[in-house]
Structure 1
Amino acid sequence: MNSKNDYAFIGRKIEIIETANRDISEIIQIDSITNDTIKLISIPMNFEYRAKYEILHNAYNRIPLDTIEFIVLDHYGRPKFEQFDNVLLFVHYDENTKKYYHEKYKFEPMRRTRNGKWKSLDGKNLKRIIREHYQ
């Protein structure tokens, strides 16, 4: 993956709100051929959230905004990246829906060094993380 619609930025959380209903739904239908009763059960596989982040630094391609809203889908519940003050996030812009979507489970907690550069909490520099991600 490496397109004009892929972006990476270091951001600070403003809010994350759950948007999708995770209730299990049932629909009863009658089969038109056999007249049998059919029970259809729908079980959502993802939690869905709307995230709003302040953009601190554009790391890959430039998002021309101070803040960004994007959709997060997660099988396990609340996104793990929300616990970090500064986080490198990878998003994709969908031209059909006109929305940004988080690349599932892709993030890196970041810190600013004394000289103003960004590094991951385990010491990787930002250029290396971006290079490894978009290879």
Structure 2
Amino acid sequence: MRPPSLLERLLGDSPAEAGRSPRAAADRLRRALAHDIERLLNTRCAWPPERLQRWPRAARSVLALGMPDPAAETGDSLAARRRIAEHIHHTLCVHEPRLQGVRVQALDGRDAAFSIEAALRHGTDGSGLHFDAEVLPGSRHYAVLPAIGPRA
């Protein structure tokens, strides 16, 4: 018997997942995606997208994998938080092929905190995924966790 593929494991379609509850499989999927998103957001791209405009295929390659250097974004202003949200959105849309319909918003009243909403590209139930991302103070690293409870 062949081992389950990555997609089968993520979607809970493997024989090993057959005895587990759908809720447990969905929770495991959300945690795995949150971990992968966190790793992607904590990766710094070698070349920002604006430097690769002449080479559109290179802009979707490993050269542009990750987020621009967060040191370039200064201040805690609403405009700076919106730019960071745009960077997160762009990074997820280009480099996370499992997600579609990605929306990123800076959370009101919380500095350096963002809400990420998306859907699985190959999801079967059509339910949305919600993640909370926060830039950790002093380190410029992102922490991403599945959001608890429904979004309004």
State the TM-score, normalized to the length of structure 2: 0.25
Q: Larger Rg: 1 or 2?
A: 1
